[in-house]
Structure 1
């Protein structure tokens, strides 16, 4: 069933006080204001000489006949639907994670050159899954990765609870569709993760790996993570039974194996 986000008028603005939306506080006023932000206002947030801009998606823009990704690659123009949560969060992600977005766009364009604009390859599916529901996870303890490999959610989130609370284990929501889902209070969120091990800039490392084509070659590379299990991210995360009863905590499918994490320098 397709997710339907609350209307702007019906939005419970208390969701902005909890992760993941609380991590996007610099953009909070564009979510909580009564009026939708205009594209021109979003364009004022770009770093100087970024080379990109948001443009209202309307018949005039689409008359160029370009594929969405091609318009970004050739013109630096990101088609943005007005009064639309999904595209508003996409704009926020471009503004915060420009390097990751550029890497995804370059990889999409390389696949389009091979497949054409109407067919999709396995890498394109992986790139899109990460774009929509992506998480960047940074771990330091191999035991946490072992628990994740086995879908031992109690072990990952409850046994290692202190690692999440202290910041030793970190997760950043990159996928704009996942941020849109977070507008619904109490919703169980499951994302598709790239994971790094060690200390350093996890987002930059992921962008480097995507650009080099060493990750996101197949959707099965992405690790599902019920991110509502991160302590403090869901109202029930302080209850140990949550990790064995909530439907988002699914067992490992037979034969499913995940790739190793990306190392941080």
Structure 2
């Protein structure tokens, strides 16, 4: 069933006090004020050197006949529906992670050139899944990967609960649809993750840079099956019920590993 976000005035304000939405506090007025931000307000947050601009999605804009991704590549114009949660969160992702969004756009345009505008390749599906529901994850403790590989969710989120608090594993939400879903209090969230293997000195900034480079070079997101499910609702503080062990045995966001399912190894993250 297609998710329908609550009306702006109906959003429970508590959702902005816990992850993932609490991680976007610099945009809190845009999320909480009675009035929606317009494209001028969004554009005011771009660095002066940025090529892209948000443009209201109107009939006149769409009459240019360009594909959404091609328009961005050719003109820098990001078609944005006003007064719309999905497109507002997409704008926030562009502003925080422009290098990753540009890499995704370049790969999408390359695939459209091969497939045409009406068919989708496996790489296009992977790119879209990550764009909508992605997370960038650093694992600084290799032992956690075996738990994740086997979908040992009780192990990854309960027995190793401290790992999420002491920095041995860290996740940053990239998918704008995930942020939109988080508007519903208590909703169980599952991301589609790209994973980077680091050490104690590696940072999320480095992981984001590595992610953009890997996407841009076509080394990742060639197939949707590359993406690892990550039940975000298991992370401490991300769901109101996950302080109880029973949550980690029975929560619907935890799915068993399908027979024969494997995942790529984490991409090594080199610390400069």
Q: Is the TM value for this pair above 0.5?
A: yes
For 1:135, the equivalent position in structure 2 comes to 135
Q: Distance in 1 between matches of 2:242 and 2:236?
A: 5
For 1:189, the equivalent position in structure 2 comes to 189
Q: Distance in 1 between matches of 2:223 and 2:52?
A: 28
Q: How many residues align?
A: 265
Cα distance, 1:225 vs. partner? Answer: 0.8
- State the Cα deviation string for residues 67-107 of structure 1 (Å, max 9, x = none): 00000000000000011000000000000000000000000
For 1:95, the equivalent position in structure 2 comes to 95
Cα distance, 1:165 vs. partner? Answer: 1.0
The reply on whether 1:251 has 2:256 as its aligned counterpart is yes
Matched position secondary structure for 2:10? coil
Q: Distance in 2 between matches of 1:163 and 1:149?
A: 16
The reply on whether 1:262 has 2:243 as its aligned counterpart is no
Q: Distance in 1 between matches of 2:47 and 2:14?
A: 30
Matched position secondary structure for 2:8? coil
Cα distance, 1:237 vs. partner? Answer: 1.3
For 1:167, the equivalent position in structure 2 comes to 167
For 1:155, the equivalent position in structure 2 comes to 155
Q: Distance in 1 between matches of 2:208 and 2:36?
A: 29
For 1:14, the equivalent position in structure 2 comes to 14
For 1:236, the equivalent position in structure 2 comes to 241
For 2:4, the equivalent position in structure 1 comes to 4
* Deviates most, 67-76 or 197-206: 197-206
Cα distance, 1:167 vs. partner? Answer: 2.4
Cα distance, 1:163 vs. partner? Answer: 1.4
The reply on whether 1:47 has 2:47 as its aligned counterpart is yes
- State the Cα deviation string for residues 160-182 of structure 1 (Å, max 9, x = none): 11110122311000000000000
Q: CA RMSD in A?
A: 0.7
Question: Which residue of 201, 211, 215 corresponds with 2:216?
Answer: 211
Q: Distance in 2 between matches of 1:166 and 1:143?
A: 15
For 1:123, the equivalent position in structure 2 comes to 123
Cα distance, 1:141 vs. partner? Answer: 1.1
Matched position secondary structure for 2:188? coil
Matched position secondary structure for 1:195? strand
Matched position secondary structure for 1:9? helix
Cα distance, 1:195 vs. partner? Answer: 0.5
For 2:58, the equivalent position in structure 1 comes to 58
Q: Distance in 2 between matches of 1:122 and 1:264?
A: 26
Q: Is the 8 A contact 2:140 2:167 kept in 1?
A: no
Q: Distance in 2 between matches of 1:62 and 1:18?
A: 37
Matched position secondary structure for 1:191? strand
For 2:225, the equivalent position in structure 1 comes to 220
Q: Is the 8 A contact 2:107 2:216 kept in 1?
A: yes
Q: Distance in 1 between matches of 2:85 and 2:7?
A: 9
For 1:178, the equivalent position in structure 2 comes to 178
Q: Distance in 1 between matches of 2:254 and 2:236?
A: 14
Q: Distance in 1 between matches of 2:116 and 2:7?
A: 36
* Deviates most, 235-244 or 127-136: 235-244
Q: Distance in 1 between matches of 2:260 and 2:28?
A: 42
Structure 1 unpaired stretches of 5+:
none
